[in-house]
Every structure is written in C-alpha cells, then in structure tokens.
Chains A and B, each alone.
Chain A
Amino acid sequence: SQTIHQWPATLVQPVGSPLSLECTVEGTSNPNLYWYRQAAGRGLQLLFYSVGIGQISSEVPQNLSASRPQDRQFILSSKKLLLSDSGFYLCAWSVSGYQETQYFGPGTRLLVL
C-alpha cells in the first residue's frame, strides 16, 4: 500500500532563516506530487505541483520554491522566511494523469517568529 510522509511535523523558525520541508511517498512510482498551504480557517492553496523528476510548476509567486530530486521525494524550500510564510503545509500525491484522487500527508505546522 502507498504511504506518504512529511517532516518535520512542527517547526518554529525565525524570520530570515532558511526552510526545508520534506515529503516522501512509498509504494508507488511516478506519482504527481503537490504542495499546499492551509491558513487558519481557510481552504488549501496549491503552491507547487510536479508530474516528474525535475518538473515543477508554480501556482503562486512567492517566497518559496520546490524541488523534486527523486521520483518520490518532494522538497519545499525558502532562502529567507517571512512572517507570512507561517501556516500548515500539506504534501499530497496522486496517480499520474487527470482527475485522480489526491492523498495527503500528515502536514507540517510552520511558525515563523
């Protein structure tokens, strides 16, 4: 069966510090991978999605970047965190293709102080 992992679970970082959040998927090959941010009381905002290694699409211009160095690894990064980067970050995967169900990881709660 497929599983998706995210770490860390929680993170408190000072403004201006770098960020690296990691997401890995097990039990599947060539998945589509997604990064979302969820603000308190709001739905999910798609940040990045990837259909293959090295293929990243950005949905919202911002202070963050994503990379996919391996087939089942998706990394969310920032060189300098802003206060507005605080939130709940969720990684998801789906079978490659359209209209495929997305399955979510447990999330990382980021607090930038």
Chain B
Amino acid sequence: SQELEQSPQSLIVQEGKNLTINCTSSKTLYGLYWYKQKYGEGLIFLMMLQKGGEEKSHEKITAKLDEKKQQSSLHITASQPSHAGIYLCGADMSNAGKSTFGDGTTLTVKP
C-alpha cells in the first residue's frame, strides 16, 4: 500500500480559481516536503513543514501540516497557468533521513 496518499490524482481548474491538494499518511510524519515538477524535469522545492499545526506560504501557495502530523494540504489561491505542473509531497516517515513520496497530483490551469 502507498505510505503517502495524494489526492486528487489530477486536477483541472480555471485560471483564477482556488484549489487544494492533500497528502495523507497513517503514520506520523517527521518532516513533510512539497515539491513542484514540470514534466520531464527535476523537482523544485516549495516548502517544508515539521511541526503540528505549522503553516507556510510561498507566493500564492500555502501549505499546512495538521496537529497530528499525518496530513498536509497545499492550497493555491487565484491559480495561474504558471502553477501548472505535478505537485509531490514527500515525508520522512522513519526519522532516518530518507524520504517517501506520494504519486503526485497533476495540475492543469486553463486560461
């Protein structure tokens, strides 16, 4: 079974709309990372969350880690075509310095 579940698998939104992507685990997350990937390219680091209830923002992207540290949400406000890509969450599940990744959410923003 997948240790990190991302939902939805894909998302198509109209430019200007808000959207949320979720990343869920049955285990405690020692560090939760959000990355963005353009097809065929490397991953771009967006932000890292470590503490329960922590919330961080990067431009119009906000990510939050729940109090139990088992779920994170990524929220994009007023989406733009430049937000399109694959969003991946990664987490240190064992506090051993190795990350597990979700399958990614493909975001399409229609102009």
Contacts and interface: CB of A to CB of B under 8 A. Distances in A.
B104 A43 contact: yes
Most chain-B Cβ atoms within 10 A of its Cβ — which of A43, A46, A105, A107? A43
Interface in B4-53: 4, 6, 30-31, 33, 35, 40-45, 48, 50
B97 A100 contact: yes
Interface string B64-96: 000000000000000000000000101010011
B97 A107 contact: no
A46 B3 CA distance: 13
Interface residues of B, number: 27
19 contacts: A32-B97, A34-B98, A41-B104, A42-B103, A42-B104, A43-B101, A43-B102, A44-B101, A46-B100, A98-B31, A99-B30, A99-B31, A99-B92, A101-B48, A102-B33, A104-B44, A106-B41, A106-B42, A107-B41
Interface of A: 6, 32, 34, 36, 41-44, 46, 49, 51, 59, 88, 90, 92, 94, 97-107, 109
